[in-house]
């Protein structure tokens, strides 16, 4: 049971961070379907730091800050491609997001393979080993393994809520996702606010990526991507009605179903049912389809999401 709780919280943290990123972006009026690619790039940045920054030898907190900074930097830089294409060039947001997902995994795989080959001509793998460094930000409390990124997820949840609903910035951001022309008429720069929304989604998606690959493995093969967690996070966002705290509840639910795929063997009654392990791994995706089928009609998405801003429109 303790292991189930542990996996539930770590997977919920991943989904929460990435879903919050999608939430902020869509509140600004830009649909970010590229969260999967942003996660991969954030994971790449953090994994490179864990591989090359010596541990032990580097204080744990400094290692944690360096990894956090790298995944944020990679996530923000990669999300800027979406911002340029969709905000400045007014490209189709769905197509650009899909392209970023494919490009992210391919780019990370090629980069890691090239790096490994340069270091060892016989090594053409797309794996990065970071097991020792990962222990720098894992704390065991009475057999419960606490990943520091779980704490980061809770902090960022509060920060996003305050930012969206308790600040002038949040009011302006949401106005750009609801009525951009009205926002522009009172002097708000729609382009700047949408850029801010997309870059913030890159920050959150990048942190979600490094949280995902530190969930329980010591080596990551980047050609595997992030197993659809970016799309699952979008389902969490919709189920959570674009509200941070509702998204947190949805993330816990989806995280529980995802955790069952890792821990079902620890429950005798589940083992007795003789259900193939693949079914448990499919549960969060099946649940997402069912949930969206019943809730998407009543979802209240920002009215101007996905619509390029045009000053001449009224």
Top-confidence range, 69-73, 225-229, 269-273? 69-73
**CATH of segment(s) 2-144+155-298:** 1.10.3470
Mean pLDDT on 63-78: 95
User: If DSSP states are collapsed to H, E and C, what string results for the chain?
Assistant: CHHHHHHHHHHHHHHHHHHHHHHHHHHHCCCCCCHHHHHHHHHHHHHHHHHHCCCCCCCHHHHHHHHHHHHHHHHHHHHHHHHHHHHHCCCCHHHHHHHHHHHHHHHHHHHHHHHHHHHCCCCCCCEEECHHHHHHHEEEECCEEEEHHHHHHHHHHHHHHHHHHCCHHHHHHHHHHHCHHHHHHCCCCHHHHHHHHHHHHHHHHHHHHHHHHCCCCCEEEHHHCCCCHHHHHHHHHHHCCCCHHHHHHHHHHHHHHHHHHHHHHHCHHHHHCCCCHHHHHHHHHHHHHHHHHHHHHHCCCCCCCCCCCCCCCC
Q: What percent of the chain has pLDDT over 70?
A: 93
Q: pLDDT tens digit string along 185-199?
A: 899 999 999 999 999
The predicted structure's pLDDT at residue 67:
94
Reply yes or no on whether the pLDDT at 108 is more than 70: yes
More confident residue, 278 or 8: 8
Q: How confident is the model at residue 23 (pLDDT cuts 50, 70, 90)?
A: very high
Q: How confident is the model at residue 119 (pLDDT cuts 50, 70, 90)?
A: confident
Work out the mean pLDDT of the chain and round it to a whole number: 88
The predicted structure's pLDDT at residue 267:
61
Choose the weakest-confidence range: 84-88, 114-118, 285-289.
Answer: 285-289
Reply yes or no on whether the pLDDT at 298 is more than 80: no
The predicted structure's pLDDT at residue 287:
81
More confident residue, 119 or 75: 75
Reply yes or no on whether the pLDDT at 88 is more than 60: yes
The predicted structure's pLDDT at residue 266:
58
The predicted structure's pLDDT at residue 143:
78
Q: pLDDT tens digit string along 32-58?
A: 999 999 999 999 999 999 988 888 888
Q: pLDDT tens digit string along 123-153?
A: 888 888 887 888 888 888 877 888 899 999 9
């Amino acid at each position: 049971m303790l292991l189930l709780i542990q996996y539930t919280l770590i997977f919920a943290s991943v989904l929460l961070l990435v879903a919050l990123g999608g939430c902020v972006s869509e509140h600004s009026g830009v649909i970010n379907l590229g969260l999967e690619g942003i996660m991969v790039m954030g994971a790449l940045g953090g994994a490179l730091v864990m591989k090359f920054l010596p541990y032990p030898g580097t204080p744990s907190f400094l290692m944690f800050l360096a990894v956090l900074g790298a995944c944020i930097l990679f996530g923000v830089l990669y999300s800027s491609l979406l911002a340029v294409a969709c905000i400045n060039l007014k490209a189709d947001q769905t197509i650009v997001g899909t392209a970023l997902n494919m490009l992210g995994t391919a780019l990370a795989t090629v980069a890691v393979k090239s790096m490994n080959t340069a270091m060892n001509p016989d090594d053409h793998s797309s794996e990065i080993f970071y097991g020792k460094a990962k222990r720098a930000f894992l704390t065991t409390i009475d057999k419960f393994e606490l990943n520091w990124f779980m704490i980061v997820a809770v902090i960022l949840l509060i920060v996003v809520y305050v930012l969206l609903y308790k600040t002038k910035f949040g009011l302006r951001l949401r106005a750009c996702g609801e009525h951009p022309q009205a926002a522009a008429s009172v002097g708000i720069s729609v382009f700047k606010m949408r850029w801010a929304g997309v870059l913030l989604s890159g920050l959150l998606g990048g942190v979600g990526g490094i949280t995902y690959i530190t969930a329980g493995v010591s080596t990551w093969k980047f050609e595997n991507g992030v197993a659809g967690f970016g799309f699952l996070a979008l389902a969490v966002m919709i189920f959570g009605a674009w509200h941070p705290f509702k998204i947190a509840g949805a993330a816990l639910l989806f995280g529980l179903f995802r955790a069952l795929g890792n821990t079902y063997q620890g429950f005798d009654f589940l083992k007795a049912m003789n259900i193939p392990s693949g079914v448990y791994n499919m549960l969060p995706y099946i649940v997402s389809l069912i949930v969206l089928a019943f809730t998407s009609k009543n979802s209240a998405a920002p009215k101007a999401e996905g619509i390029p801003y045009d000053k001449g429109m009224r």
